[in-house]
């Protein structure tokens, strides 16, 4: 469990775990022992509170507007936004400390071949022993999900409106171009007809002039 120890040392959690954990129960998983029990204490934490990261799907239509709170200030979206840019736009911390991503680090710090229930119980013990505010971390996750939905709805609506405007402008320009093309054809025909008329008249007059010129 070197990954876990490194993670705990990084966030100064090792001493807390050593001070508060006095009784452990080992679980044999593929000939590996994992401590899953701490000193008995009262806790309302439930194993199901640790869940896999939610998967956000953007379908058409998007989530109804009443399900999220629109931003007060209108943002102009003219490029693809990275996740850290989205969080910065909503003044959310990109850190892995005191955010929902701290739970992700705990999950990744454990051997990935552990059964889900063993992993959940182990993470529960670490959270309790380290006095981590699980409720605050989960609230942070809920806020980020809300922000992503709001951003994507706003981004989707604004971008589609602009696309519709461009298409409408193209339709107008196409109509104008078609009209100009018709005008060009009409003018070309008119020019050819005029040239023929003038040429015919020119030949007529030249023939008259030549007739009388030959008399001299």
pLDDT of the chain, 216 residues: tens digit per residue: 566 666 666 666 555 444 444 434 443 433 344 333 333 344 444 434 444 444 334 444 344 433 434 455 578 888 999 999 999 999 998 888 889 999 899 889 888 898 989 988 898 889 888 888 888 899 999 999 999 999 999 999 999 999 999 999 999 999 999 999 999 999 999 999 999 999 999 999 999 999 888 665
Is 123 contained in some domain?
Answer: yes
What are the DSSP calls for 36-69, one per residue? ---S-------GGGS-PPPPP---SS-S-GGGSP
Which residues form the domain of 116? Answer: 2-172
Is 84 contained in some domain?
Answer: yes
Is 162 contained in some domain?
Answer: yes
Full-model pTM: 0.56
Q: What is the CA radius of gyration of the chain?
A: 38
Give 204-214 pLDDT, tens digit per residue. 999 999 988 86
Is 153 contained in some domain?
Answer: yes
- As for how many domains the chain has, the answer is 1
What are the DSSP calls for 71-106, one per residue? PSSPPP--S---HHHHHHHTT----SSSSTHHHHHH
Is 186 contained in some domain?
Answer: no
Residue 183: both structure tokens together? 């005008």
Which pLDDT does position 144 carry in this prediction?
A: 94
Residue 22: both structure tokens together? 């006095």
Is 146 contained in some domain?
Answer: yes
Query: What is the rounded distance in angstroms from the CA atom of residue 69 to the CA atom of residue 147?
Result: 9
Is 194 contained in some domain?
Answer: no
Is 214 contained in some domain?
Answer: no
Query: What is the rounded distance in angstroms from the CA atom of residue 181 to the CA atom of residue 198?
Result: 25
What number of residues does the chain have? 216
Query: What is the rounded distance in angstroms from the CA atom of residue 84 to the CA atom of residue 69?
Result: 20
> Which residues, in sequence order, are bridge partners of residue 27?
34
């Amino acid at each position: 469990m070197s990954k876990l120890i490194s993670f705990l040392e990084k966030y100064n959690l090792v001493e807390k775990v050593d001070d508060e954990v006095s009784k452990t129960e080992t679980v044999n998983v593929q000939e590996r022992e994992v401590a899953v029990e701490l000193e008995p204490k009262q806790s309302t934490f439930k194993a199901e509170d640790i869940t896999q990261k939610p998967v956000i799907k953007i379908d058409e239509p998007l989530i109804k507007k009443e399900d999220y709170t629109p931003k007060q200030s209108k943002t102009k979206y003219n490029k693809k936004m990275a996740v850290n840019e989205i969080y910065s736009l909503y003044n959310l911390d990109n850190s892995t400390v005191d955010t929902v991503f701290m739970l992700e680090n705990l999950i990744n710090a454990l051997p990935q071949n552990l059964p889900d229930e063993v992993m959940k119980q182990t993470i529960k013990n670490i959270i309790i022993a380290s006095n981590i505010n699980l409720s605050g971390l989960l609230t942070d996750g809920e806020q980020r999900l809300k922000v992503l939905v709001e951003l994507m709805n706003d981004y989707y609506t604004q971008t589609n409106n602009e696309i519709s405007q461009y298409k409408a402008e193209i339709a107008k320009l196409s109509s104008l171009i078609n009209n100009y093309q018709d005008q060009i054809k009409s003018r070309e025909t008119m020019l050819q007809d005029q040239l023929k008329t003038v040429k015919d008249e020119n030949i007529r007059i030249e023939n008259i002039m030549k007739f009388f010129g030959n008399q001299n």
